[in-house]
Chain A
């Protein structure tokens, strides 16, 4: 270890010995060694001192706590908003999105008219359980695909009416996120999509929401015949 005698090593400003001697002497005087105050050892031995010195991991813990608090706040807001029905609307597909999905030229992922096979395929891809009648003389399903709209899985079933016009349409099904309903009522509307006029009939059953969409003069109500061959209940 170095002793004060080694100060002579300093070669700073050797060309200006007058000034530097004065400055170095002043620095030595101003910065001279001092004695530590009494009682420091007691402080070091106190548990608080150890805790503070071990604050490294604690410091690392703060960001984690902050993130957790943020997540908790977001979750709280989410739950609050959900309770008021606010976010539900944003996470559920809106009519324009449904119409766009129904009008999408993309082909079916599964071509089949077998209701049991379609049910099983939709369940495996989207978790949506639908009941399709074994046979319908009025409407025939031709295929299905599954898409995601606003984070909601939507099953799309293409149907074809067995009338002389062979009207085609799409039944869209997604989980409502609400409590299952025991009965279903239907509502109908006409929406414009990319210049085309679309007819949409929607209803709820169980935990699912259904929307039948048909374009260019076809009737979306034909989809009702899938389960109600006796008629469309005056919709």
Chain B
């Protein structure tokens, strides 16, 4: 409740163009926004661009936020759209190359852990990167942020049933792709 009040006050201040409030709002949400962008694009530079673009759009359009949906849903919708736009711009990049680059650049993992999980990780990342954008985004929102179906549905502007079926389908695709190479572990 306190957090919501704080956020509401920040949003109001951002509407008035207060830079300090913008910075606070940014600090509050930057990690999640960046996570969506990175996990969707698989590329750190692209993720930075998407994060930057999303926040600039957010501050430009914050006056239009009426609170019909939650602020986070509204913000994530901006990020999702920025991701889809960015992907259209860089469609020529091979997903595999992007996944490899993301893997090499991916933060938060020690070289030893990377070495141990190279095969498994690269296979899964490659499989995620090759998912259709709609499926991939549902997977990212679900597993990166742990969002419930109804919130994902609000963000993607589709029924919750569609979210469930996309996630189910993504699961099947990933399972099928991995089965051949990692059959023993899946069995």
- Determine how close the nearest CB of chain A comes to the CB of B87; give it in whole angstroms: 16
* Chain A residues with CB below 8 A from B56, complex form: 44, 49-50, 52-53
Nearest chain A residue, comparing its CB with the CB of B32:
A33
Contact of B125 with A37 in the complex, beta carbons under 8 Å? no
**Which of A23, A31, A45 is packed against the most chain B CB atoms within 10 Å?**
A31
Across the interface, which residues of B come within 8 angstroms of A20, CB to CB? Answer: 171
B144 and A12 contact, CB distance less than 8 A: no
Q: Are A10 and B142 in contact (CB under 8 A)?
A: yes
Residues from chain A with a CB closer than 8 A to the CB of B26 are: 40-41, 44
How far does the Cβ of B176 sit from chain A's closest Cβ, in whole Å? 11
- Confirm or deny: B38 has a beta carbon within 8 angstroms of a beta carbon on chain A: yes
Chain A residue numbers with a CB within 8 Å of B32 are 33
Number of interface residues of A (CB under 8 A): 38
Instruction: State whether the Cβ of B148 lies closer than 8 Å to any Cβ in chain A.
Output: yes
A residues within 8 A CB of B124?
A: 26-27, 30
> Is there an interface contact between B146 and A36, defined as CB atoms closer than 8 Å?
no
Contact A19 B175 (CB under 8 A): yes
Among A35-69, those with CB < 8 Å from B are 35-37, 40-41, 43-45, 49-50, 52-54
Judging by beta carbons under 8 Å apart, are B30 and A23 in contact?
no
Residue of B26, B57, B139, B142 contacting most chain A CB atoms (<10 Å): B142
Contact A43 B48 (CB under 8 A): yes
Partner of B120, one of A19, A26, A40: A26
In the complex, whether B63 has a CB less than 8 A from a CB of chain A is: no
Whether, in the assembled complex, B14 has its beta carbon less than 8 Å from a beta carbon of chain A, the answer is no
Residues of B within 8 A of A13 (CB): 168, 171
The interface-forming segment of A1-9, A93-101, A174-182, A188-196 is A1-9
6 pairs of A and B residues whose beta carbons are closest in the complex: A53-B56, A36-B34, A36-B30, A4-B146, A27-B143, A31-B144
Q: Contacts A2-B145, A12-B167 given; 11 further ones with Cβ under 8 A?
A: A11-B164, A30-B143, A31-B39, A31-B143, A33-B35, A33-B144, A34-B107, A35-B31, A41-B27, A49-B53, A54-B60
Interface residues of A (CB under 8 A from B): 1-7, 9-13, 19-20, 22-24, 26-28, 30-37, 40-41, 43-45, 49-50, 52-54
